[in-house]
Amino acid sequence: MEFISNKIHECINQYNSPLFFTSYSTSYISGVPDFKNIINGYYIDHILDSKFFRQNPEIFFDYLEKIYPWVELEPNYIHQILGETQSRVITECFDSLHVKAGNKSVIELYGNLNKILCNFCSFEIATSEFLKSNQYSDENYLCPKCNNMLQPSIILHGQSLKNFNMAVNALHYSDAFIIIGNTPFYYPVNRLINKALENKCKVLYISI
């Protein structure tokens, strides 16, 4: 822990405009399960897929009820260091632990668990409220306004990353791109390393 903390501080002090990237291996320290774990007979990664969601909404929303408590976990020392220094962060995590640590400079590539919303109209409801509602207990996952399928405010595999261009733009104003934990794997997030190099941005790795 001390070694990693020192490395993060070293990058913050050494570069004029460092930009950090955190994967779910960062959140594992806070208690978020490994995405290779199985819930309800499915790998977590398999459930977080747009095709699976469309074909199995009941299983998906049952899974959502199990992962929503992740927002109640506490930020770990990595979140806290980056929050205390207000370091700019791109994260693939949707547990909001960076925000909970007080960081106001976070780009959440995959959104967060805060809301249930309709992608076809303006309807939205807090996830905590939805999970307590009759609509959820009746397994009614359709928008009360337009009757389309509701979805949590996270981006599933196969859906467009709304904040990806914002992340690429952040690299234009950075002299170091520091990856903490696992290297980005999924497209298009895995393109960020090449984007950083194209912008003559130093790419560094801090293993967890």
pLDDT score, position 77: 97
Q: For residues 99 and 175, state if they share a domain.
A: yes
CATH number of the CATH domain containing 173: 3.40.50.1220
Q: For residues 67 and 129, state if they share a domain.
A: yes
Share of the chain above pLDDT 70, in %: 100
Strands 18-22, 88-91: pairing kind: parallel
pLDDT score, position 3: 93
Q: For residues 121 and 150, state if they share a domain.
A: yes
Containing structural domain, residue 14: 1-32+75-110+161-208
* The model's pTM: 0.92
CA terminus-to-terminus distance, the chain = 9
Q: For residues 62 and 103, state if they share a domain.
A: no
CATH number of the CATH domain containing 58: 3.30.1600.10
Q: Which of 203, 152, 147, 142 lies closest to 174, judged by CA?
A: 203
Angle between helices 2-14 and 77-84 (to 10 degrees): 20
Domain count, the chain: 2
pLDDT score, position 200: 93
Q: For residues 14 and 117, state if they share a domain.
A: no
Q: For residues 150 and 165, state if they share a domain.
A: no
Q: For residues 104 and 79, state if they share a domain.
A: yes
Helices assigned H by DSSP within 17-157: 24-28, 44-47, 50-55, 57-67, 77-84, 97-100, 127-131, 134-137
Q: For residues 26 and 80, state if they share a domain.
A: yes
Residue 32 is given by DSSP the state: P
Chain centre distance of CA 93? 2
Give the mean pLDDT of 129-143.
94
Strands 150-154, 111-118: pairing kind: antiparallel
Q: For residues 183 and 204, state if they share a domain.
A: yes
Share of the chain above pLDDT 90, in %: 82
Q: For residues 122 and 207, state if they share a domain.
A: no
Q: What angle do CA 88, 99, 169 make, to 5 degrees?
A: 35
Amino acid identity for residue 68 in this structure: Y
Give the mean pLDDT of 78-90.
98
Q: Give 28-42 pLDDT, tens digit per residue.
A: 999 988 777 777 788
Give the mean pLDDT of 1-20.
96
Q: For residues 181 and 100, state if they share a domain.
A: yes
Asked whether 73 and 65 are in contact (CB, 8 A), the reply is no
Q: Give 41-70 pLDDT, tens digit per residue.
A: 888 888 999 999 999 999 999 989 988 988
The DSSP annotation for 144-175 comes to TTT-PBEEEEEPPBTS--TTHHHHHHHHHT-S
Give the mean pLDDT of 60-81.
92
Give the mean pLDDT of 92-96.
94
Residue 205 sits at φ, ψ, to 5 deg, of -125, 135
Q: For residues 55 and 121, state if they share a domain.
A: yes
Q: Supply the mean pLDDT for the chain.
A: 93
Q: H-helix or E-strand containing 21?
A: strand 18-22
What are 22's two structure tokens? 């955190």
Residues paired with residue 115 on neighbouring β-strands, in sequence order: 126
Question: In terms of pLDDT, which residue wins out, 198 or 66?
Answer: 198
Give the mean pLDDT of 135-151.
95
- d(Cα 69, Cα 73) in Å, to the nearest integer? 7
